[in-house]
Structure 1
Amino acid sequence: MALAGQVVGDGVRLVRPVGRGSHSLVYFAVNHAGQPCAVKVFHADLIAFAEREFRHASGLAHSRLASVLGRGTLEGRSVLISSLARGEALFSRYVRRPALKSERRAFLLTLTHLLDALAYLHSCGLIHRDIKPENIVVEPDGSAKLVDLDLAGPALETFEVPTRFGTAAFQSPEAARGEPLGPEADLYGVGMLLGWGIFGSLPDPTRPAPYHPDPLCSLYLTLTRQDRAQRPGNAGWVRERMLELSNLKF
């Protein structure tokens, strides 16, 4: 059902769809003052996901996260209104691959901003639990924002039955097993993105990595260790180590 042109909240008008997820459709919208924003429209039977995202995201404030501004309903569906993350999904932005060879500084800025967002989330006791290219919106210069917190939750949250969070290609081994997740699970996803930037395709961390001269390869190997206890759990440390190895400053 087309929703463009409809109004939600305090005069927020939906303009056009700009993204689709497993739980929702995201629209570019403008508020009553003509300022751009985003509206996430959840599927009608996924009210709990909308409530969960609003509960976890409404108190967050960081320049590398899309801010939740309000919520409402539209034709029986839950909606969340948020600030607009400008740019393209990570894989669409970096079409020349390997990204670390074709646009090294821009790609490392993207990962730096992702790690800034994760350091803040983790300091608030939250785990994103779905680090993947579609959830990282990148501008032409490499600046990025982390979006989509509908799977986010408290660190080491437990459920009555094992619950597998995330997207298979970027999912940590413990996430695939349905175990409670900590910061090292999010950083595993960062490691997979770093590996993609190095090799030009998604690596298989269960197999020995091919030789690569990039000094960042050692950090990729550290972030994607299969044993969660051997992986770093501090996004700030990973950020500094990445910049140290690349000899860059942002």
Structure 2
Amino acid sequence: MEQQFAQEVMMLANLKHPNIVRFIGACRKQMVWCIVTEYAKGGSVRQFLMKRQNRSVPLKIAVRQALDVARGMAYVHDLGFIHRDLKSDNLLICGDKSIKIADFGVARIEVQTEGMTPETGTYRWMAPEMIQHRPYTQKVDVYSFGIVLWELITGMLPFQNMTAVQAAFAVVNKCVRPVIPNECPPALGEIMARCWDANPDVRPPFSEIVKMLASVQEELATSVRRARFRCCMSLPMTID
């Protein structure tokens, strides 16, 4: 516990990005160990989705939130870190509605990963290579992001009809993944499918994910502008 506490303090103190929770300070006195970060009054993304009672988030908001996470993770990976527990519980909503990544207690520098602790993280979001105790890379975070993106699009808990252990067994032994909704834009469905591919080499880096999501965001904005234009053109014109 002491080592994990020191690890998180050192890591948070060195992470400075708009989509990473801001470190303020740490206290380690007898019986009182705490890490102080900026306040995220919106709570976690999982709490936000639970309040919506499995109703999907408006697509524009979901894509914007996913972009926040992808940008934050691109920064983390550029520094050579692996989060290892990326999930909706560890994504915080701030006052300006931006998403910030938190909980770096199990994060590690990407080195020779054979010696890393297996099964670090949470089964519903965990990459199959971690579940199987195989060597892993930063691509385990990409897998977890694919599950988070599915959560944002559907508003649901992944594998909600299974226990966590059942979900892990299904992911590894049956290649089961959450079902992508029919109404999901194909571009977003492709991002999810690539992110949670069983082969880590197929999963795109976060720098590419940011570009793909930015393209989806621009496409959505263009569709809204076109819809408004058509609406204006359909209004009756009066001539004085």
Matches within 5 A, 1:56-205: 56-94=11-49, 95-96=51-52, 97-99=54-56, 102-139=57-94, 142-158=97-113, 160=115, 162-201=117-156, 202=158
Distance 1:157 1:98 in 2: 41
2:207 to 236, 243, 250: 236
Distance 1:212 1:130 in 2: 28
1:225 is matched by which residue type in structure 2? D
Distance 1:77 1:115, change over 3 A: same
- Cα RMSD for the two superposed structures: 2.5
> SS state of the match for residue 178, structure 1?
coil
Deviation digits for residues 204-223 of structure 1 (CA, Å, limit 9, x no counterpart): 76237466242211211111
Query: Displacement, 1:167?
Result: 0.5
2:98 is matched by which residue type in structure 1? S
Distance 2:128 2:3 in 1: 26
**Quick check: which one's strand share is greater?**
1
Higher relative contact order (Cα pairs below 8 Å, separated by 6+ residues): 2
Identity of aligned residues (%): 19
Distance 2:73 2:180 in 1: 28
> SS state of the match for residue 14, structure 2?
coil
**Quick check: which one's helix share is greater?**
2
CA contact (8 A) 2:23 2:36 kept: yes
Deviation digits for residues 14-35 of structure 1 (CA, Å, limit 9, x no counterpart): xxxxxxxxxxxxxxxxxxxxxx
Q: Which protein has the larger Cα radius of gyration, Structure 1 or Structure 2?
A: 2
The TM-score, its normalising length taken from structure 1, stands at 0.71
The TM-score, its normalising length taken from structure 2, stands at 0.74
Distance 1:161 1:220, change over 3 A: closer
Distance 1:211 1:133 in 2: 19
CA contact (8 A) 1:53 1:151 kept: yes
Unaligned runs of 5+ in 1: 1-45
2:176 is matched by which residue type in structure 1? R
Distance 1:225 1:48, change over 3 A: same
Query: Displacement, 1:179?
Result: 3.5
Unaligned runs of 5+ in 2: 160-166, 222-240
